[in-house]
């Protein structure tokens, strides 16, 4: 169906048409987001009580996530069986039932159509025939599964269980962060001027972090000379990278004349914004974890967040950030997390550049759909290792993407 | 109505906006008291009682760090803001503090000329008297959505 061929070099090249083609975008929605993948939906902490709900997305598809009266979680397509209008307009809240505003068709927390207004007409006049089957167009239901407070859903009947999908190595790194009940701190959206995959390959690109994000390097928060490593799931789909807390004393960046090293000694007037408590007891200062297709979990010092990647067209992506702490955080820890919120998000000392860099790629490749990225740091293999001067996880993303897209 | 106070507050707000719009970012920390707080929040988080800031600085040292990082560390495409601040409501708290509430629009102009309404919202200020500096400036953005990045303070 897709008349595209991949460059002969294989894993070390990514052709630029992948970021530009409307047909590719539509196929991704069907084969990836609505296909055999698990997609992040929300935090359980956003559904604190029975009968609460939030709205979210799986790719383009609007979704309602609910907690029913018994406490069980459900997710279903936010589309009325009748004419396709959104059933749930509010971003969150509690509800006894869900009524479409257009013609008042009503749904329960599981997404079942429970009432069609005037289905039998009034006084024997009007209404639907007895054999009408409006339920045949009911909203699609998702399988729902959560891991330590994060809720995921899939439209696929055949994708394996969530924990199997993630795999043991990356799952263990995920549970390392999600070790206690979560407390919501807040949320916002960063709108990125680029294709969703440019953000995902940025997240998986451990090579860029200390070169693009000068704040990291100038303040010696993360240099590639620090201890750390990378895990890539056996199928290439998911990854996790980490950096140890030890302060770098080396001068590899200065010797190589790297722009990010700078020429003057640079220090913060008030370094409290960086004060980290080793809350996981393993001296890891940064852990970035991604799940295919569009989920990122970060621990940057004591800043913890879920990032949901929501595609909005070939050259526009929304990044939904949800920052959290733990339910038992004391006042000092909450204050620390709020100060460290300065590191991330649209105004983040170390996150603000990602949108700029990936937007530059979207613009830079505009005239060259037939050309390709060179992704050869660390060779052509895909796997775990102890060097972050590698693009192994980026190759893993593309291997996975090609498998789903059959390109 | 204390007309002198009203004019002094208007001057403070105007000087603040002009300093940012004219890329005199180094002056920005000087609009705050030594322990002055600056916080960008969203109306949604505020309404939900959630404390997450988009940007938060407590004390002039952190404000200086923000500008130093913008000048020497952060990479972003050249851009300018144009602030439009509304008239404001004043409420005298005591001899030392006055509160001001105003609306704002910030237009962002990129180097290629692309111009967009980047942010709208309210300034909720506590202004220290008699020095006429912000003891606290909370910028409550109407939208939870930020285009690409928020480098320059609002």
CA distance A340 to chain B (A): 9
| Angstrom distance (rounded) from CA A230 to CA A247 | 19
A261, closest residue in chain B (CA to CA): B73
B72 in contact with chain A, both atoms CB, cutoff 8 A: yes
Superfamily of domain A39-147: Rieske [2Fe-2S] iron-sulphur domain (2.102.10.10)
Assign A146 to helix, strand or coil: strand
For A62, half-sphere exposure in the C-beta direction (CA atoms, 13 angstrom radius) is: 13
Is the separation of the CB atoms in A344 and A303 below 8 Å?
Answer: yes
B88 in contact with chain A, both atoms CB, cutoff 8 A: no
Structure tokens at A27: 């196929």
| Angstrom distance (rounded) from CA B113 to CA A275 | 40
Output the DSSP codes for chain B.
Answer: --HHHHHHHHHHHHHHHHHHHTT-GGGGGGGEEEEEEEEEEEHHHHHTT----SEEEESHHHHHHHHHHHHHT-----EEEEEEEEEEEEEE-SSSEEEEEEEEEEEEEETT--EEEEEEEEEEEEEETTTTEEEEEEEEES-SEEES---S--
Positive or negative: CA dihedral A159, A163, A164, A166: positive
Subunit contact B76:A268, Cβ cutoff 8 A:
no
Structure tokens at B17: 């906006």
| Angstrom distance (rounded) from CA A139 to CA A155 | 11
Q: What is the ipTM of this complex?
A: 0.97
- Choose, out of A186, A221, A358, the residue to mutate when testing the contact with B (most B CBs < 10 Å): A186
Q: Where in chain A is the domain with CATH 3.90.380.10?
A: 167-405
CATH 3.30.565.10 fits A167-405, yes or no: no
Residues on chain A bordering chain B, Cβ-to-Cβ distance under 8 angstroms: 184-193, 212, 214-215, 218-219, 262, 266, 268-270, 272-273, 318, 323, 334, 338-339, 341-342, 345-347, 349, 352-353, 355-357, 359
Output the DSSP codes for A321-344.
Answer: EEEEEETT--HHHHHHHHHHGGGS
Element (H, E) at A227: none
Residues of B in contact with A346 (CB under 8 A): 54, 146, 148-150
- CATH class of segment(s) B3-141: alpha beta
Local confidence pLDDT in tens for the 407 residues of chain A:
567 889 999 999 999 999 999 999 999 999 999 999 999 999 999 999 999 999 999 999 999 999 999 999 999 999 999 999 999 999 999 999 999 999 999 999 999 999 999 999 999 899 999 999 999 999 999 999 999 999 999 999 999 999 999 999 999 999 999 999 999 999 999 999 999 999 999 999 988 877 888 887 777 666 666 788 899 999 999 999 999 886 555 666 666 666 655 555 678 889 899 889 999 999 999 999 999 999 999 999 999 999 999 999 999 999 999 999 999 999 999 999 999 999 999 999 988 888 789 999 999 999 999 999 999 999 999 988 888 889 999 999 999 999 999 99
Q: Where in chain A is the domain with CATH 2.102.10.10?
A: 39-147
Residues of B in contact with A334 (CB under 8 A): 51
Subunit contact A191:B59, Cβ cutoff 8 A:
no
| Angstrom distance (rounded) from CA A46 to CA A58 | 17
Find the angle CA(B10)-CA(B138)-CA(B16) to the nearest 5 degrees: 35
Is the separation of the CB atoms in B138 and B123 below 8 Å?
Answer: yes
CA distance B64 to chain A (A): 7
């Amino acid at each position: 169906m897709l008349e595209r061929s991949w460059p002969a070099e294989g894993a070390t090249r990514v052709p630029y048409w992948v970021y530009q083609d409307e047909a590719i975008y539509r196929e991704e929605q069907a084969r990836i987001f609505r296909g055999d993948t698990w997609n992040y939906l929300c935090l359980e902490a956003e559904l604190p009580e029975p009968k609460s709900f939030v709205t979210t997305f799986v790719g383009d598809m609007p979704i309602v996530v609910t907690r029913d009266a018994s406490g069980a979680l459900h997710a279903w397509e936010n589309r009325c069986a009748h004419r396709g209008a959104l059933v749930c307009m509010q971003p969150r809240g509690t509800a006894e039932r869900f009524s479409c505003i257009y013609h008042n068709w009503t749904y329960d927390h599981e997404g079942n159509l429970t009432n069609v207004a005037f289905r039998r007409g009034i006084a024997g006049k009007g209404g639907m025939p007895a054999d009408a089957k409006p339920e045949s167009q009911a909203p699609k239901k998702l399988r729902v599964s959560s891991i330590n407070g994060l809720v995921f859903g899939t439209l696929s009947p055949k994708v394996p269980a969530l924990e199997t999908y993630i795999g043991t190595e990356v799952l263990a790194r995920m549970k390392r962060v999600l070790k206690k009940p979560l407390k919501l701190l807040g949320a916002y959206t960063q709108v990125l001027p680029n294709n969703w995959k440019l953000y995902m390959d940025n997240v998986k690109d451990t090579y860029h972090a200390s070169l693009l994000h000068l704040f990291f390097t100038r303040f010696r928060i993360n240099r590639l000379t620090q201890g750390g490593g990378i895990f890539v799931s056996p199928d290439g789909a998911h990854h996790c990278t980490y950096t140890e807390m030890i302060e770098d004393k080396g001068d590899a960046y200065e010797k190589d004349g790297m722009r990010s090293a700078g020429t003057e000694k640079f220090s913060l007037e008030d370094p409290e914004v960086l004060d980290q408590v080793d809350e996981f007891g393993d001296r890891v200062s940064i852990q970035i974890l991604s799940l295919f297709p569009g989920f990122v979990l970060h621990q940057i010092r004591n800043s913890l967040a879920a990032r949901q990647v929501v595609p909005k067209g070939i050259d526009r992506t929304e990044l939904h950030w949800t920052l959290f702490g733990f339910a038992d955080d004391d006042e000092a820890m909450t204050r620390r997390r709020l100060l460290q919120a300065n590191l991330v998000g649209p105004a983040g000392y170390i996150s603000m550049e990602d949108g700029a860099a990936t937007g530059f790629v979207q613009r830079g490749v505009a005239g060259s759909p037939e050309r390709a990225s060179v992704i050869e740091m660390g060779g052509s293999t895909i796997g775990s290792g102890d060097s972050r001067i590698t693009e192994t996880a980026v190759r893993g993303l593309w291997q996975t993407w090609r498998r789903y897209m059959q390109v | 109505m204390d007309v002198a106070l009203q004019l002094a507050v208007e001057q403070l707000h105007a000087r603040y906006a002009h300093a940012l719009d004219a890329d005199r970012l180094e002056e920005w920390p000087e609009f705050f008291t030594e322990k002055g707080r600056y916080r960008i929040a969203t109306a949604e988080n505020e309404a939900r009682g959630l404390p997450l800031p988009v940007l938060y600085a407590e004390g002039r040292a952190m404000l200086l760090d923000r500008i130093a990082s913008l000048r020497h560390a952060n990479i972003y495409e050249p851009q300018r803001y144009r602030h439009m601040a509304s008239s404001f409501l004043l409420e005298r708290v005591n001899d030392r503090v006055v509160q001001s509430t105003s609306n704002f629009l910030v237009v962002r102009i990129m180097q290629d000329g692309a111009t967009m309404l980047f942010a709208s919202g309210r300034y909720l200020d506590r202004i220290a008297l008699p020095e006429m500096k912000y003891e606290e400036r909370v910028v409550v953005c109407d939208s939870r959505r930020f285009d690409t990045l928020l480098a320059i303070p609002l």
